[in-house]
Amino acid sequence: MKVVNSEQIKQLDRIAIDEFLIPGIVLMENAGLAVVDEVLKSIKDKENKEVIIVCGMGNNGGDGFVVARHLLNKGIPVKVFITGNPADISGDARKNYNIIHKLNVDIHILVGVNNLKKFSEIIKSSSLIVDAIFGTGLKREVDGLIKEVIHIINNSKKEVIAIDLPSGICADDGSVCGIAVRATKTVVLALLKLGNINYPGADYVGEMILKDIGIPNKAVEDMSLNINLITNNMVKEYMPVRKRDTHKGTYGKAYIVAGSTGMTGAAILSCEAALRSGAGLLKIPVPQSLNTIMETRLTEAITVPLPEFRKGVVGISDIEKIIKTMEESDAIAVGPGSGRSRELEELLRNMLEHTSKPIVLDADALNALADRKELLELIRSKAVMTPHEGEMARLTGLEIDYINNNRIEVASEFAKKWNVVVVLKGARTVVAGPKGEIYINTTGNPGMATAGSGDVLTGIITGLIAQGIKPLNAAAVAVYIHGASGDLAAQKVGEYGLLASDIVKEIPFAIKEIVGR
């Protein structure tokens, strides 16, 4: 499912109008009808059906005028409030304003304190508010009268249906332009906007309903849009079919370098997640002193005990054995709970120099790359890197605030620069490919902000790559399954007490729910 910014949706409108000869007023009519459908659903069982429509001066307001006309024709009591001088309304919005004016729709102009008081009083007796103030073009702080209007809407405690975006949310990044309408439901027109799904905007949209307004599919295809929302259907498409005539080798061999003294839990979580996501076989090289712990917990994995330079730390004294067993695998992961050490840095250097297999780099492997950036030059395989914002800051030298405010751009630029797949973890995890591909995930919940959650994600990615899914697709599918597993866990234990091990337990159930087997 494609996701666009304000400039892209503007360009799509232009293509539909200029190249496909679809009049703008037709698109506005379709948008209004889409909203009417949702309004009627919301007021169906309400005794009081009066609808307040608050309209701005642009095309979003024009959509609101269309809504008013159709509701009036269906016998629904309607009052329209306009946040400016109607003389300034132009284009298709002007035509629709003229129509409702001719129909004697109850229209109020919001200027001055007295009008705001009247607006506040009228809202109290209404059933529902339609927010048609701003569309996708808002770039400035909301202030003055409109700021007060939004305050009144939010304080009314009424059901609010926003058209396309809650007014005050920036379409490009989901930021709040000073103040924004808190919608109960948002009717998203044509395509999802980044402001609909990125935080903090995602907290304002309420239930999202995506509606077609007649922009041709060919127009969307011709634009080669690169930002995608990860969906159930996408995950189902990429998950391998498990045929009856198969064996463990069919579903791949995973190899995870993880764990050190005090952090065996990270290794165990990663390995269990790889197996739970469907990998047929798993090997884990471990420091010899930790082997008993790992064998006791990982009964389905094969441990490869190794000599130690320092107790509880994997070194390179047996690098040939590591490289041999590594190259026998279909997917490799390095880093969960490995600890920051010179030994890991040298081990990683040797692994990157010798492997051509897909490799997932997480946690302490990322720290090693940040400490010795020349190691990035050694990445020859199809690598997936899974940083959170702190690790990305160390890798790039950028400030954390900048990264959080520019997640897509930062992830994409890094992926292109180093020819890797980047999984920038967070409330809206971004998966970026080396050719500019972007995938955004919306599954998951705050309970997953717990120690070990990232280790679970690494295991899922590794397990999926081992099964033959391409690294970029595996990363996108994995973050969706990871979040879906966390959502299932939260349903059982709640968000406060959710543990990473709870996520692991739900992986097979999440996959079953998505793919049906």
- The answer to whether 61 is a known ligand-binding residue is yes
Q: Is 60 annotated among the ligand-binding residues?
A: yes
191 is in an annotated binding site: no
3-state secondary structure of 50: coil
Q: What tokens does 500 get?
A: 């990473």
- CB neighbourhood size of 353 (10 A): 11
72, 133, 130, 82: which is closest to 109 by C-alpha? 82
DSSP state of 446: G
Nearest to 234 by CA among 442, 466, 435, 408: 442
Measured CA to CA, the distance from residue 31 to residue 100 in angstroms comes to: 16
Rounded Cα distance between 410 and 416, Å, is: 10
Residues 6+ apart with CB under 8 A from 336: 256, 258, 259, 263, 266, 267, 269, 270, 362, 363, 364, 454, 455, 458, 459
139 annotated to bind ligand: yes
Collapsed DSSP state (helix, strand, coil) of residue 205: coil
510 is in an annotated binding site: no
Dihedrals φ, ψ of 425, to 5°? -75, 150
18 marked as binding residue: no
From the list 7, 132, 162, the residue with the least C-alpha distance to 65 is 132
d(CA 50, CA 72): 10
- State yes or no: 137 annotated in a binding site: yes
- The reply to whether 164 sits in an annotated binding site is yes
212 is in an annotated binding site: no
429 is in an annotated binding site: yes
Asked whether residue 136 is marked as a ligand-binding residue, the answer is yes
What HEC string does 123-155 produce? HHCCCEEEEECCCCCCCCCCCHHHHHHHHHHHH
Is 92 marked as binding a ligand?
Answer: no
Binding residue per annotation — 455? yes
412 in a labelled binding site: no
Is 390 annotated for ligand binding?
no
Tell me how far apart the alpha carbons of residues 478 and 495 are, in angstroms, rounded to a whole number: 21
Q: Which of 140, 110, 129 minimizes the C-alpha distance to 42?
A: 129
The verdict on whether residue 516 carries a ligand-binding annotation is: no
**CB distance 177 to 147 below 8 Å:** no
428 annotated to a ligand binding site: yes
Q: Binding residue per annotation — 280?
A: no
User: How many other CB atoms sit within 10 Å of the CB of residue 320?
Assistant: 11
Establish whether 167 is an annotated binding residue. yes
| 447 is annotated as contributing to ligand binding | no
Annotated binding-site residue? 396:
no
108 belongs to an annotated ligand binding site:
no
Q: 């390995």: which residue's tokens?
A: 271
Beta strands in 298-393 (DSSP E): 302-306, 331-334, 359-361, 383-385
Helix (DSSP H) and strand (DSSP E) numbers for the chain: 20, 19
Is 426 part of any known ligand binding site?
A: yes
- Residue 331 bridge partners (DSSP): 254
Cite the annotated binding site for AMP by residue number.
425-429, 454
Q: Residues comprising the binding site?
A: 59-63, 131, 135-141, 164, 167, 266, 337, 388, 425-429, 454-455
| Residues in the annotated binding site for K(+) | 60, 131, 167
Residue ranges for the known binding site for (6S)-NADPHX are: 59-63, 135-141, 164, 266, 337, 388, 455
